[in-house]
Structure 1
Amino acid sequence: MVTRRKRESLENGGLPPVSPFQRLSRTHSLMVAGETAMTLALADSLFLSISPDAARTKVILFLAVSMAPFAIVAPFVGPLVDRMRGGQRMVVLLVAVLRALVLIGMARELDSLTLFPLAFASLVLAKTYSIAKSSLVPSTVASSDGLVEANSKLGQVAGITGFVVVVPIALLQLISSQAALGFGVLAFIAAALNAYRLPKVVVASTPPDDLETEELHSTTVVAAANAMRVLRGVVGFMFFHLAFWLRREIAGTAWFGLAIGLSGMATLGANFVGPFMRKKMRVETMLLVSLVSVGLVGVGAAWYGRITGGILLAAVVNAAAAIGRLAFEATVQSGAPDANRGRAFSRFETQNQMAWVAGGLLPVIFTPAGWMGFAIVGVIGAAGAIMYVRADGTVIGSRGGRATSQEHQSR
């Protein structure tokens, strides 16, 4: 062990060895930097300049197609990757390399309709990375008690990275969109290099046993998982609702950029506040507050009916989803103590990504008016809160979510 640490120290320039979580944090930060570069570069491209009516059919098609990898492929390929030594690490590395190649393709096709399939290929890769990251986090922390804190820190890293890189990327964007995309290519290549040095771990060497299956299908875990899917579905709904509705308004692209920026700030704030909330209240209360907040602000934004109300709602929705995720992870941690964390969170994240895509399809297909979309979000939030309470989602936990559920206490 001493020899190994000395070798790692020498490889790191004499500094203390980099922990697996630090390596994953660096990889995640670089992936976020690449994502930010792509987002800003597309702002002046055909992707956002094409008329909403012309874009709608393409968005519907590619959103529907993007569900296929998660609905069909993931249930079969996921378990195989989990059983491979370094399988999810390989997925992260491949995603980073492929995203760099996609950005190179985008730089060549900024004024072509080919940009649409490239953009949605990038979307599928981003969702794939999110699932792989969820399965890797448990293997980078010393104990299960640090899992929620680790995910909160990754959320903070993502938010801080976004704000740090947005200025240099914006300056490159003034030169050309290709320059901004070049920044993204370098970020994804650096992410791939960092991913290569992630530990080669086996996420799940054996299939789930009866106890794991029973715990993951307990009332509390299922109720929390459904609540989380509602929140992620609403996030997808708001993203595409604002994208199409604001395009029909004056300075639509600028307002949409403001909505994305404030949503990022809200998510960052939620990831900082979430751990403190968890110390002060039960995790089921955190989930319930998240759903109720979405319901109340959604109804308020519908009544107000203006652009600023919609932007505020987008920020609240993203913050609620971040708070809800921390509460959900704590619920799984306490309600399913014998489950394989990597496999469980990978499966749940797959379901959440499908909820995001399904939520995004609705406003693209039905194109509701601005206030109507906000009202729909309010109704979904309120309905989600009612269903969560009626499903006995509040039976677990004490402060901090460390108590087990009634089902476990009765054993």
Structure 2
Amino acid sequence: MEAAAVNSTGDALVAVALAGTLFFGLDVNQARGQVALYLLVTMAPFALVAPLIGPALDRMRHARRYAIAGTFVARGLLCWGMAGAVSNNDAVTFLPAAFGVLVLSKAFGVLRAAVTPRVLPDQITLVTANARASFAGLIAASIAAPVAAGLAVLIGPDWLLRIAMLVFLAGVIFSMRLPNHVDSPETAPAPAPEDSPPAQKRRWRTFPRVGPAVAEAMEANAILRAFSGFLILYLAFLLRQERFDQVSANVALGLLAAAAGAGGLAGTALGAWMKARAPRIIVFGTLAFVTAVTAVSAAFFGLVAALAVALAAGLGQSLGKLSLDAVVQREIGEEVRSSTFAVSETLHQLVWVIGGLLGLGMSIVADGRLALAIVAGVLSLAFGALLVHRTGGRPLRSRLSLDDASATPARRTS
């Protein structure tokens, strides 16, 4: 939990510094172009993340603490480089370094999720354990973000990135303090059947081999993540161009960020409170809730509706991610767990970027009522398709409950 809190603190400092250089320092049209470029630079290399990072982390099961510490060290060095790039207006250095920080942040998330079952107390579920770690990170980020915003005004984004470097280097200490049994003992691989494909091909085919439970949870979370990316960027630019109830653009953006953050905290708190052993039901229920809130917000669009849908998006992304992590941790064996989490992170980052790009485009051509109505329709169709595919003519709750119950022994043996 301490490492998760330090990670979220450093990520919050970097996010505030990036916001100051890519968004608030420019007018609307310039900011839209800069954000679109950043999203494209972030998305393009992510096709290589799953086949490279996941198998590499699976091979480092015996040295996970050092791998986690390495993500902190590398991000600290990249933040130092980004600080120099900001001072010299060097976009050629800045954007690749920002991409590196993002990838290493995802790598930390993959490692944290992969080691959670090894430190899970018997009396709590995986959803609850994931929620507690995420809650620590959200609290740290909630405290760090406003402090970072004030520091960015006083000392500038370049020095804020240097402070982020120190925070990430402090994370090395907490990484090395993890218990020894986080590292799995190195064992010889089991002999493969003669007709089995080579190991490299199996790694590339990790996603098709995850099984229906994990695949469906990934699909539902992909929908939630794309919705979150769309909503954040669409509303951010919409609130900069329109005034609601005599509220200034900066105040509206602050309220939007607060609503999204409150939704994330609420989702994490719900995950910690619910002693759920059926995380797939939580994923589907979360998607249904987000769809309903979006439809109502489209009908009564205004500042309050925008804040409500932002809160719902934050809650949905947080609670859905916790449930997906629990499904993967329970269903997937330890030998390929990191690869599966890497595939999941890659998929969800890609759809978030695609949703964000759609949000940028929609902010030019559609008002809030029309945009949310379109999104509500797309969410309804996606949710219906998932239900039809999942139920196969049987009640959803009984199908999900039976599958979750039958998968419980798999968790104990993984």
TM-score by structure 1 length? 0.78
Which secondary structure state, in structure 2, belongs to the residue aligned with residue 49 of structure 1? coil
In the alignment, does 2:135 pair up with 1:156? yes
Instruction: Indicate which of 92, 115, 129 corresponds to 1:136.
Output: 115
Instruction: Indicate which of 204, 227, 230 corresponds to 2:223.
Output: 230
In the alignment, does 2:235 pair up with 1:242? yes
| Contact 2:207–2:343 (CA under 8 A) maintained in structure 1 | no
Q: CA deviation at 1:110?
A: 5.7
Change (3 A) 1:333 1:235: same
Q: CA deviation at 1:55?
A: 3.2
Change (3 A) 1:366 1:55: same
Aligned to 1:381: 379
Q: CA deviation at 1:189?
A: 1.3
Q: Percent identity?
A: 27
Q: CA deviation at 1:268?
A: 1.4
Q: CA deviation at 1:255?
A: 2.4
Instruction: Indicate which of 193, 197, 205 corresponds to 2:173.
Output: 193
Q: Name the amino acid aligned to 2:89.
A: S
Aligned to 1:323: 319
Aligned to 1:257: 254
Which secondary structure state, in structure 1, belongs to the residue aligned with residue 406 of structure 2? coil
Which secondary structure state, in structure 2, belongs to the residue aligned with residue 48 of structure 1? coil
Q: CA deviation at 1:201?
A: 2.6
Q: Distance in 1 between matches of 2:78 and 2:359?
A: 27
Aligned to 2:367: 369
1:4-403 to 2 correspondences below 5 Å: 25-45=1-21, 47-86=23-62, 89-108=65-84, 109=86, 112=89, 114=91, 118-141=97-120, 146-166=125-145, 168-177=147-156, 178-198=158-178, 199=180, 201-202=183-184, 206=189, 217-250=210-243, 251-279=248-276, 282-332=278-328, 340-367=336-363, 368-392=366-390, 394=396, 396-398=399-401, 402-403=404-405
Q: CA deviation at 1:158?
A: 1.2
Q: CA deviation at 1:310?
A: 1.6
- What is the aligned residue count? 381
Q: CA deviation at 1:87?
A: 5.7
Which secondary structure state, in structure 1, belongs to the residue aligned with residue 24 of structure 2? helix
| Contact 2:283–2:323 (CA under 8 A) maintained in structure 1 | yes
Q: Distance in 2 between matches of 1:364 and 1:97?
A: 34
Q: Which runs of 5+ in 2 are unaligned?
A: 197-204
Q: CA deviation at 1:167?
A: 5.2
Change (3 A) 1:38 1:283: closer
| Contact 2:28–2:240 (CA under 8 A) maintained in structure 1 | yes
Partner deviation per Cα, 1:53-102 (whole Å, 9 max, x = no partner): 22333433332232244312431442133113456545433332333234
Partner deviation per Cα, 1:103-125 (whole Å, 9 max, x = no partner): 33444416836255554443343
Q: Distance in 2 between matches of 1:226 and 1:262?
A: 25
Which secondary structure state, in structure 2, belongs to the residue aligned with residue 288 of structure 1? helix
Q: Name the amino acid aligned to 1:357.
A: V
TM-score by structure 2 length? 0.77
Change (3 A) 1:68 1:87: farther
Q: Which runs of 5+ in 1 are unaligned?
A: 1-24
Aligned to 1:19: none
Root-mean-square deviation over aligned CA pairs: 3.7
